[in-house]
Amino acid sequence: MTATRVCAFSDLEQDTAMRVEVNGVPIAVVRDSNDEVHAIGDTCTHGDISLSEGFVEGDTLECWAHGSAFSLTTGKPLTLPAFEPVPVYAVEIDGDDVLIDINVKKEN
C-alpha cells in the first residue's frame, strides 16, 4: 500500500488542524509550532465530533465539544471525558507534498 497525498505542506497553517479523507477515513492533519506534521483520527472517541474543528494546544488537539485533549503523537486522550485513543498515522513529507498511509499506524 502506498501513501496518499492529502495536501500541500504550504496549505497547513501552524497550530491549526485540517480535515482530510483517505479512502473514506477521516483524518485530522496538524502542523505544530515546530513545523512537524501529525495525522490522527478525526473523530473524537467520546462523540461524533470532528477533532479538526477543535483547537491545537501544544502537542495536543482538543475536542471543542467537551474538552478532551488528544496527544498528536500517541493519539491518547490526556483529559476526560474521552478515554479511548484515536489512531495515529504515519506522515511523510516529500517536497511540498504531505502524504499519509492509513495502513501504517504509529505505535500508541
Residue 47 binding ligand FES, by CB under 6 A:
yes
Residue 66 binding ligand FES, by CB under 6 A:
yes
Non-local (6+) Cβ contacts of 34 within 8 A are none
Nearest distance from residue 8's CB to ligand FES, in Å? Answer: 29
Contact 43, 49 (CB under 8 A): yes
Shorter beta-carbon distance to ligand FES: residue 87 or 92: 87
Q: Name the one range near ligand FES by CB under 6 A: 21-29, 31-39, 64-72, 88-96.
A: 64-72
d(CA 46, CA 9): 30
